[in-house]
Each structure stands twice: as structure tokens, then as C-alpha cells.
Amino acid sequence: QVQLVESGGRLVQAGGSLRLSCAASGSTFSYAMGWFRQAPGKAQEFVASINWSGRTPDYLDSVKGRFTISRDNGKNTVYLQMNSLKPEDTAVYYCAAAYSSLDVPLRSGYASWGQGTQVTVSS
């Protein structure tokens, strides 16, 4: 399985920006990559995913137009650029990888997970 390490989370004011990174231990070719988040007292939710070729992203409706997922397969790294952050974006953000025979983004079926990085947006 791919091992994942997230970084980039921190405290930021509302309206600010952050870029999260997720470094994989090996090749992520043929792996769809995703970002999920979990706020205190709430269930984990899908945020964004991208297919293994990097051409097709998918987003949670509430982050469309504010967040951008991208990947660099040469560096085995996936990114989540977060702009116009809101207090409701506060959560632990997790990176995940899912092997996929089809070149499509995925909202479920992830087998490899990172340890998470805390994002806190102050009002």
C-alpha cells in the first residue's frame, strides 16, 4: 500500500489561503487521490479527488470555486489549494489513495490514508 504524509495545515484567518501537500512513499500511478476532512463531533466527509492522470477533479459542492486539487506524479505528491477559507472549513484534513483501473476521480473506496493535518480558520 501507498504510505501518505500530509503537511501544510495551520491556523489562518477567514478569507485566507492555505496549500496542503500530501507526499506518497511510492508511485501513485494508477491511484486516484483524494482529500477528506473531519470536524470535531462530525463525520468524515469527502472534499476533493483527482484521477491518476490529473485531468479530472471532483469537489464537494461547498468547496467548489474555492479549493483546487492537483497532483504531480513525478513527485508523487498531491496538493489541495484552499482559498477564501471559512470557519466551517476548520477540520483535520486527510489525504487518501485508491488504486483504480479506470482513470476517474473517486469519492469512496480509499485504502491508504495519511495521519491528517489540522486546519483551523478563525473568524
Q: For the segment 64-108, what is each residue's pLDDT rounded down to a tens digit?
A: 999 999 999 999 999 999 999 999 999 999 999 999 989 999 999
Q: What is the pLDDT of residue 27?
A: 84
Nearest to 20 by CA among 58, 75, 61, 77: 77
Which pLDDT band, with edges at 50, 70 and 90, does 28 fall under? Answer: confident
Average pLDDT over residues 110-122: 97
pLDDT reading at 29 higher than 90: no
Task: Read off φ and ψ for residue 62, nearest 5 degrees.
Answer: -70, -10
Nearest to 51 by CA among 34, 26, 27, 63: 34
Amino acid at 98: A
pLDDT reading at 26 higher than 90: no
Dihedral, 30, 3, 98, 80 alpha carbons, nearest 10: -90
Q: Which three cell numbers stand for residue 62?
A: 461547498
Distances (CA, A) of 25 to 6, 97, 109: 12, 11, 19
